[in-house]
Every structure is written in C-alpha cells, then in structure tokens.
Amino acid sequence: MLLAVDAGNTNVVFALVDAGEIRARWRIATDPRRTADEYAVWLNQLLGLEGFAMRDVEAVIIATVVPRALHNLEVLSSKYFKVTPMIAGQPPVAWGIELDVSEPASVGADRVVNAIAAHHLYNGDLVVIDFGTATTFDVVDYSGAYKGGIIAPGINLSLDALVSAAAKLPRIAIAAPEDRSVIGRTTEAQMQIGVFWGYVAMIEGLVQRMRAEIGRPVKVISTGGLAVLFDQHTDIFDAIAPDLTIQGLALMHGRI
C-alpha cells in the first residue's frame, strides 16, 4: 500500500493507493509547524476509521511546493511508517518528462506531477487547469513534454484581497449567482457576479488564447476543489480529474 502526499500551499492531501486504486484520502490545513507526531496521531485515527492500520503502508511518496513542510513529513514517514520517503523530482524519483521551459527547476512539483498524470490519461495536446491557492494553466504537448503555462490568483485569494482592501464590502461565499444576469442589484450580488463570472471569463479567455498559440487541437483537463463548480457553468473543460496529482504520484512510484 502506498501513501501519496501532496503538500500544497493551503492543504496537505494524504491518499492511500493500492495497485493504482485510491482507497482513501484525507486533507489537513498546511502548517509547516505541524510536527510528525501530530500528523501521526491524526492519520492513525483516520486509517482506523477506514479499516486500515499504519503497518499497511509500505511506501511513501511526497510532492510539495512548501519546502518548510517537507522535513516533518519525512520524519513522519521514517518514524511512524518505517520507510524512507520518496520525494517527487529527486533521485530515484526522476520526473521522466521533458521540462521544456527556461527555468525547469522553478516549476512546482504539483504542476509536473499533474502533467505526468494528464499525459498518461489523455492523448494529444493538453491544457491542465488546477484550481488551488493559485489557479495554474499548464501546457503538455502530445509527446508528454511540459511546455509552460500561466499562474493566476486563485479565486479565494482574489476574494480575500477584495474584502481586505475595501472596508465596506462583506465576505461572500464562492458560489454561482442565482441567475445569469451580470447586472447585480445588491452589493453582494455585484460582488458575486464580479468574482464568479469574472473568473469564468478569465478561464475561457486564457484557454482561447492558449489554443490559438498552440495551433493544434487541445483537450482541457480540470482538477482541484472548484473544478466541479466551474464545470457546471462553462463548456470549456473536456474532462474533470479531481485526483490528478495523487494519480501522478502513484504513476511515479510505479516506475521505481
């Protein structure tokens, strides 16, 4: 049994993978100060609720974009699971794909892992959109090479910035407006239109520009927590892959 760990800026996702099948998944807020002991107590309880035990974990693979969180996850693996963790992008877990960009070392681990999984699951040229702390658009060509992409503020970051900077604006939920009108009649409705439909327009506009630049047919793959919500209000996505990062980690482990 493999424990795949995706440590992002907002959440750390743990997933139990057996022969390529995700058997269970859990998430916890990212906190670089969280100790290995705290992780272990939390995971031990959750594993038990799913009918598993810590001894069932035979390997651990980690992808992280939060360097300060890595040490405690490594200690968790060695102290409580009794295995040396594999770190995505570090020997012996090489990426195995070409990073055809100016600064390959600066590409986030999650984005490369997503590219690996997307190329494995879908044919042809791809744009992978990941709705996380930031919203990232990644181009993977037909050969599996990572060609670059876009980083945009995540919708929650955009809303937080708006509310923080404007004293009289209330905090609203991230949700689709009740109708398709883009002329709001209350402050809350106007904010919701601006945040939600503005974000949909950004997604559609950027994908249109990327398709024009690529110049070949492109599939758009969406992942991340808000992918399903946006999929209900745009036809830009060809597929939703909510576990893309975990699938990529499992694929990388399978190569070892």
Residue with tokens 């009918």: 51
State the pairing for strand pair 11-18/21-29: antiparallel
Report which residue type is found at 27: R
Q: Which of 18, 31, 37, 110 is catalytic?
A: 110
| Alpha carbons 91 and 86: distance in angstroms, whole number | 8
What's the confidence (pLDDT) of residue 180? 83
Let me know: does 232 contact 197? Beta carbons within 8 Å. no
Task: Indicate the range of 56-60, 96-100, 166-170, 215-219 predicted with least confidence.
Answer: 166-170
What's the mean pLDDT in 189-218? 95
**Nearest C-alpha neighbor of 249 from the set 112, 69, 136, 128:** 112
Residue partners of 105: CB distance under 8 A and separation at least 6: none
pLDDT digits (tens, 9 = 90+) for 18-64: 988 999 999 999 999 999 999 999 999 999 999 999 999 999 999 99
Within its chain, how far is the Cα of 242 from the centroid? 8
Percentage of the chain beyond pLDDT 70 is 100
pLDDT of residue 162 exceeding 80, the answer is: yes
Query: Mean pLDDT in the chain?
Result: 94
119 touches 105 (CB < 8 A): no
Q: Using the predicted structure, report yes or no on whether residue 175 has a pLDDT greater than 90.
A: no
List the one residue out of 119, 110, 25 whose CA is nearest residue 63.
110
What is the structure's pLDDT at 6?
A: 96
- The model's confidence at residue 248, banded by pLDDT at 50, 70 and 90, is very high
pLDDT in tens, 89-132: 998 888 999 999 999 999 999 999 999 999 999 999 999 999 98
Least confident among 7-16, 145-154, 163-172, 239-248: 163-172
What per-residue confidence (pLDDT) applies to 242? 92
Residue 256 has pLDDT above 80, yes or no: no
pTM comes to: 0.91
**Cα separation of 127 and 237, whole Å?**
9
Q: What pLDDT score does 225 carry?
A: 82
pLDDT of residue 168: 85
Whether 110 is catalytic is yes
Q: What pLDDT does 91 receive?
A: 87
Over range 245-251, report the average pLDDT: 96
* Gap between the Cα atoms of 99 and 241, Å rounded: 22
